[in-house]
Amino acid sequence: MKGELLYVYDQKRWRIMWIIIYSLVLAGSVVGLYLFSNRIGTHSIPAGNVQLVVPHSKYLVGEPVTFTVYNRFNSTIYVTNHCPSEPLEVYRWTNDSWQRIHDRADLKDCIAENRQVRVPANGSASGTFAPWHHLFDRPGKYRVVAYVEYYNSLPYQDFEVIAKPKVPKINKTIPTNPDDFSGRSGSTTQTAPQTSVRRSKTISTSGGSISVEYTSSMIYVISINPAPRYTYEGGSSGSNVEVTFKGSTEIQITLTLSGGQLQVRTEVGD
């Protein structure tokens, strides 16, 4: 009887030992797989995205175009710099399709440039197309595309380049003093022509203010005062006036005349 109890006890003890051994082996395997997977993960692209941003939706011909690449990954990415070729791929909408265009900068603009532009994790890097003078020298619709190594998507941004508005000629009327011709034989008395009454108005927005004077057929821009950290484009006098304030948002103000009255239209973009 005693021998049977010892046998049962030994069986239970060995069974417990084997359970402990299997548990340790299983735990070690799980830890090993976890560490191995982490090592593999360090050599792969983590979850995230790359975003390309061009600040404004419209530019005047000749106005510098800038861009920013945002790295939403938790590791560094690199964008190849092809200077003196353009820093990013540029396309122009031509004949109902996107056609890639090229330009070359002066070699001296490339001396201080790195061949690989580093964009840190959750950071950004900015650039400009200013040295490539002929990329956006024609009005039209453009697309800028960023190529990032090992990133499958192609982040891009569309924008429009418009022609500079023509400044209308303003015919100044100089009244003639009839006294200048008094006493001269054959002279005629000239009177000053009638001019339209000018009225003034100031239009204020969060992007800045515009002061104008206007008649029934003409708007004269007196001053444009952008708000802090805002710039503006446009603002030529004429029968129609367009001014765009550029900052954290785009605010476009259009002034027209209707029935001798000044009409104001304001559009706020992103």
Residue pLDDT, tens place only, 77-86: 888 888 889 9
Q: What is the mean pLDDT of the chain?
A: 80
| Any domain includes 173 | no
First-to-last alpha carbon distance for the chain, in angstroms, is 91
Model pTM? 0.49
| Any domain includes 79 | yes
Q: If DSSP codes are grouped into helix, strand and coil, which group holds residue 242?
A: strand
Give backbone dihedrals phi and psi of 41, rounded to 5 degrees, phi first. -65, -30
Tell me whether strands 89-94 and 58-60 are parallel, antiparallel or unpaired: unpaired
Q: In the predicted model, is pLDDT for residue 55 greater than 70? A: yes
Compute the distance between CA of residue 180 and CA of residue 75 in angstroms, rounded to an integer: 83
Last residue of a domain, one of 147, 162, 177: 162
At 38 the pLDDT is 57
70 and 157 in a common domain: yes
242 and 201 in a common domain: yes
| pLDDT tens, position by position, 22-45 | 777 777 777 666 665 555 444 444
No. of H helices and E strands in the chain? 1, 17
At 17 the pLDDT is 76
- Percent of the chain with pLDDT strictly greater than 70: 76
| pLDDT tens, position by position, 175-194 | 555 554 444 444 444 444 44
Q: State the CATH number of the domain containing residue 152.
A: 2.60.40.1930
Q: Helix H segments across the chain?
A: 2-41
Q: Which two tokens stand for residue 204?
A: 């204020």
Domain count across the chain: 3
